[in-house]
Amino acid sequence: MLRPAVRPLGLSLVAGVLMAITFPLGQPLPFDNGDGFWVAGWFCLAPLMVASARCRTLRSAAALGLAAGLTAYTMVLCWIFPFLQTWAKLSVPEAAGVGGLLILYVSSYTALFCTCVSLSSRRWGSAAAYLLAPAAWTGLELTRATLLTGFPWCLLGASQQAAPAAIQVADLTGTYGVSFVLAAGSSVMALAFDRLTGNRPDGRGSGPWIPLFLVLLISASLAYGGWRLRRAGGVDASLEVALIQANVAQADKWDPAQRDLIEADHDTMTREAARRGAGFIVWSESSVPISLTRHPDYARRLESLADETGAEMLLGTVTYDQVGGTMAPFNSAVMVKPREGISGRYDKLHLVPFGEYVPLKKLLFFLAPLVQEASDFQPGKGINLLSARFGPVGSLICYEAIFPELTRRYARAGASLMVNITNDAWYGDTAMPRQHLLLAAMRAVESRRWLLRCANTGISAVVDPAGRITSRSRLNEKTILAAEVAPGQGVTLYAAVGDAFAICCVILTLAALCIPRMFVPRMFRRRLDPAGEHDVR
């Protein structure tokens, strides 16, 4: 028989693996799970909840959470290591250290989650702790998405893209609401596990009403999802669009010898897409390695291409403007229209730390190879809708697609279509492009808009307002992805009120953990044993 102290650690490691396989995995791991095993999202936190509720001390609960987080996020974010070695030119130990810091940071939120579960279990009993756990998990996801410029990568709710009924509630609560429902599923599993193993949940009020309440909540969410999907079935998609995936290797992107060939490929593919009937054509982020503002002849060629094809074009390019007396680069999306030329420009607002700028550059000088030319990118001043014949377009450049606040702002401003241009070639054949696609797809549900995602090397995709991927390209293929979409209108509840639901989860969690016991009715108080500890067996 295993020693009692080993059991909670085993549960936390199992939870970590389940959390990881919920999302797409791949190189440098020796296996590939496609677009992820989304079913695991419904119970992956249960072992962690059980282990935390049985911990003797808060410190041991935090340690279990850290172990689970390190297991999960080392697998999910393993693509960071080859990126650091290939493009930052870091040695293996240096890449392990830098990547490890990111993984440790993200894992600290799992440690905080376990601490919350353990503390609430000690105060109110394990049944109440399982009831509070979904709010604690959701509140910590919001915190992770906000602090230090935010890193909402692989929020639990985003794992359910392949289960459309599960994600429809995002138009009310954002992805955080989906995470809440999934965590509630884990709470039900934790309660069931305790009862099946003879460890009845302790504390007053630990009868059947808690699992019944959680099951009803999950059922209501799925019923709403089914209703929304039935309503979404009759959308009239009448706008013909095309995404140009030119498949330019990152090593060739800024090679002057490749510049003319890359532009010629985009020109040829655009003409072919227009010949097939596309009236709106999208190129990827930094699609052609020529600055539109520094090379007026390139701008004129783009205008001529729009005139000759009759198609409106949205494309990514590097632009330059005066900032503080010097010319500074911006990562931009521009609209080119027939007979009007370049009619609008959006400059990326949310830059990638250590990818497009270096925070504390003087202290972190050893990371300079990470960014090279991109180290001085400047953020834009605000969102800017790009006007098209069918209506305004909201542009999300690369990493911005994982931040829901930008999509909300676009929806409130009247965007009829969302476009995400990106270049994931930096990450090669890893799971990163597949993870990035799942995260971006949630923006379509939250805003109830079609989302066009054009990636340089893939994965390009068309996502309908219900979050379903209607067409997608393969990774590392040269292709034209054509589709029919429909401009949208209206503002969802989530776009109107923002992260109110997740903020309420933060408030509820803090109240449950901090409210003095004297203000809680006696029937809900947890009767602690003299040592104030739990049995870990």
Catalytic residues: 285, 348, 398
Q: At what angle do helices 92-124 and 500-514 cross, to 10 degrees?
A: 60
DSSP 3-state of 434: helix
Cα–Cα distance between 532 and 58 in angstroms, integer? 11
Do strands 386-388 and 391-397 pair parallel, antiparallel, or not at all (unpaired)?
Answer: antiparallel
212 C-beta neighbours (distance < 10 Å), count: 11
CB 386 within 8 A of CB 363: no
CB 440 within 8 A of CB 434: no
CB 448 within 8 A of CB 492: yes
Nearest CA to 341 out of 383, 380, 301 is that of 301
| Per-residue H/E/C for 179-191 | HHHHHHHHHHHHH
Tokens of 97: 């250290």
Tokens of 424: 């994931």
| Dihedral Cα 283, 286, 287, 289, nearest 10 deg | 160
- List residues bridging with 317 in a β-sheet: 332
Residue 38 DSSP class: G
Cα–Cα distance between 423 and 286 in angstroms, integer? 8
Sorted by sequence, the CB contacts under 8 Å of residue 217 that are 6+ apart come out as 181, 184
Which residue reads 């290797």 in tokens? 249
| Per-residue H/E/C for 120-135 | HHHHHCHHHHHHHHHH
Cα–Cα distance between 492 and 174 in angstroms, integer? 10
Determine the residue type at 131.
L
Cα–Cα distance between 260 and 272 in angstroms, integer? 18
Nearest CA to 419 out of 386, 453, 442, 388 is that of 453
Sorted by sequence, the CB contacts under 8 Å of residue 227 that are 6+ apart come out as none
Sorted by sequence, the CB contacts under 8 Å of residue 294 that are 6+ apart come out as 320
CB 383 within 8 A of CB 346: yes
- Angle made by CA atoms 215, 220, 222, in degrees to the nearest 5: 95
**363-383 residues labelled b (16+ CB within 10 A) or e (exposed):** eeeebeebbeebbebbebeeb
Residue 535 DSSP class: -
